[in-house]
Amino acid sequence: MKITWLGHAAFRLDSAKASILIDPFLTHNPGFAGLDRKDMTKGVTHILLTHGHGDHVGDTVQLAQETGATVLANADLAAWLGSKGVDKLEMGNTGGTIRFEGFTVTFTNALHSSAQITEDGVSHALGNANGLMLHFDDEASVLHMGDTDIFSDMKLIHELHQPDVGIVPIGDRFTMGGAVAALACQRFFDFKTAIPCHYGSFPIIDQTPEKFVAGMDGTRTRVATPQAGTAVEV
């Protein structure tokens, strides 16, 4: 499997049977600047969303229309996306699992908000924020934590799902910072590979993964900090 960071919290996962975008915030994402949009979205089969903030929903509506990809989101966010013209939708909620060809997705807990104020100035309640736990047939399992702080029930997520790869928010201010994220990975998980995200994109969050990398020093987890647009093989 190849996991490609697209800046901020956006990722592309290419598995044997699916090409998946998670939180495809591409337009206005400073971390995506300079990347080829067509290349990064070519052949996408699924779009998965952790929550309803604009820097995570991003280009979902346009990409769904361009690619014909199936969009998965919590029930409230999915209903809102349907009103915006997305017609291939799968909805769920915390604890629920949806099966696709070659993989499943389970909505896990995250500590964060999810409403969005749209261009018309209206605030839309778009359900709870989640992490997304992906289990693939005969490939590495991947947990995208979404936007979150540390919480003790991360231990249950590990117990239930045993994720091989963790995609971990580390930027502080809106999520846990790097040192706390490292503590979460060490205390509650046993990732083979950890990929930090949600940093370096906006001036008010941490610009580098240094705190997380330092906090993970000496552990058996491989910390991958690729440049945006570069794939990590797991």
Domain of 120, CATH number, reads: 3.60.15.10
Instruction: Give pLDDT, residue 117.
Output: 84
| pTM, entire model | 0.97
Q: What does the pLDDT look like over 5-61, one tens digit per residue? A: 999 999 999 999 999 999 999 999 999 999 999 999 999 999 999 999 999 999 999
Q: What is the spatial distance between Cα 205 and Cα 194, in angstroms, rounded to a whole number?
A: 19
Average pLDDT of the segment spanning 73-81: 97
Instruction: Give pLDDT, residue 189.
Output: 98
More confident residue, 212 or 116: 212
The boundaries of the domain holding residue 128 are: 2-233
Q: How far is C-alpha 105 from the chain's CA centre?
A: 12
Q: What does the pLDDT look like over 81-123, one tens digit per residue? A: 999 999 999 999 999 999 999 999 999 999 999 998 877 888 8
232 Cβ contact partners less than 8 Å away, ≥ 6 residues apart:
2, 3, 4, 5, 193, 195, 224, 226
Count: domains in the chain: 1
Cα distances (Å, whole numbers) of residue 72 to 78, 94, 221:
7, 13, 29
Q: What is the spatial distance between Cα 132 and Cα 95, in angstroms, rounded to a whole number?
A: 10
* Sole residue written with tokens 């440049």: 227
The answer to whether 162 and 188 are in contact (CB under 8 A) is no
Instruction: Give pLDDT, residue 116.
Output: 87
Cα distances (Å, whole numbers) of residue 33 to 29, 47, 141, 225:
7, 20, 29, 17
The answer to whether 120 and 107 are in contact (CB under 8 A) is no
Average pLDDT of the segment spanning 207-211: 98
